[in-house]
Chain A
Amino acid sequence: MNERNIAKKITQYLNHGANQLDRSVLENLHSARKQALAAHATSRQVLGVAMAGHGEMHSGHHGHGHSSLRFWIPFAVLLLGLLIAFNWQEINDVEPDDEDATLLAGDLPVHAYLDSDFDSWLDQSSRR
């Protein structure tokens, strides 16, 4: 008797055993199957939503304007923020070279700024 025939006979017995499972085992298997099918339904729904979103992104018809708007608004906000920050920095940025040039080009001698009495004179002048 060859290997395949013996295996066939053995599996006939195994099939017979599989068809004689206890009721409690069958109930548990039924319950497990139901849970698996519920999980399958959920995964299909998730996939369906993902595919619908994918289709919308590529359709070019319904929802195209909304998709474009959703893309451009954050980009525009970012650009505007960068422009404001750049201008703010430019306004408040005092170049040291400009300050030196102003001091040297003024009528007042440079050493006057080092005189401590000059500060008190300025205070008094401003109070008047």
Chain B
Amino acid sequence: MFYCIYGIQKLATERELSDFLIQVERRAFKQAAYAVHDDHAALDIVQDAMMRLAEKYGTRPVDELPMLFQRILQNAIRDYFRRHKVRALWTTLLSSFSFNKEGDEQDPLETLEVESDSNYFENPANQLDRAQTLAVIEDAVGKLPARQREAFVLRYWEDMDVAETAAAMGCSEGSVKSHCSRAVHSLAATLKNKGVRL
């Protein structure tokens, strides 16, 4: 009885849930789109994840919502691939691009040039370059192996720590570090090969 009353006091309010969904919905859509390469399917996945969160976990404390939502979203993406096994096979084949040419021992992280100007996005002269860079990055993220992309997105885009990412992905912290490292190296190599400066 007392536990239940205590639980009610901690529940996420409708306003808190709304604020949370507003905060994450765009990134969630992009995450799903990078994974499934189909905007309509991505919208369905995000909608499904939102509904599942609201119906089953909407009464949980607001602090738990980010982790729960990410788990639901990632499961929804996996469900999508289970339903589309043939397409998943092709996606996996296409995503297994290699970034290391034979004899190329150079670490892409060491040679990738980074734009030092922090106001880079605010410079109108760079808009076209920025759009092209964004397209290259989004394409590269979309071509990452699923687990690497998942780890990269959760760890760096959703700003989860290693333990939270591991919990959301259902794997060890060591695996998260490994996936993240490979993802960043792969992205850096792709950008370098495309002549993109960050």
Q: Do these two chains really belong together in a complex? A: yes
Q: Mark B28-49, 1 if CB is under 8 A from A, else 0.
A: 0110000000010001001100
Within 8 A of B (CB), among A28-65: 28-29, 32-33, 35-37, 39-44, 47, 51, 54-55, 58
Q: Which of B8, B11, B29 has the most CB of A within 10 A?
A: B29
Contact B51–A6 (Cβ < 8 Å): no
Q: Interface of chain A, helix or strand or loop or mixed?
A: helix
Shortest Cβ gap from B140 to chain A (Å): 9
Number of A-B contacts (CB under 8 A): 131
Known: A15-B27, A18-B29. 5 other contacts (CB 8 A): A3-B181, A6-B198, A9-B114, A13-B134, A41-B14
B-side residues, CB < 8 A to A, are 1, 4, 8, 11, 14, 17-18, 21-22, 25-27, 29-30, 39, 43, 46-47, 50-51, 53-56, 58-59, 109-110, 112, 114-115, 121, 130, 133-134, 137-138, 141, 152, 155-157, 180-181, 184-185, 187-188, 198
* Cβ contacts A to B, 6 pairs, < 8 Å: A1-B114, A13-B134, A16-B121, A18-B26, A25-B29, A36-B21
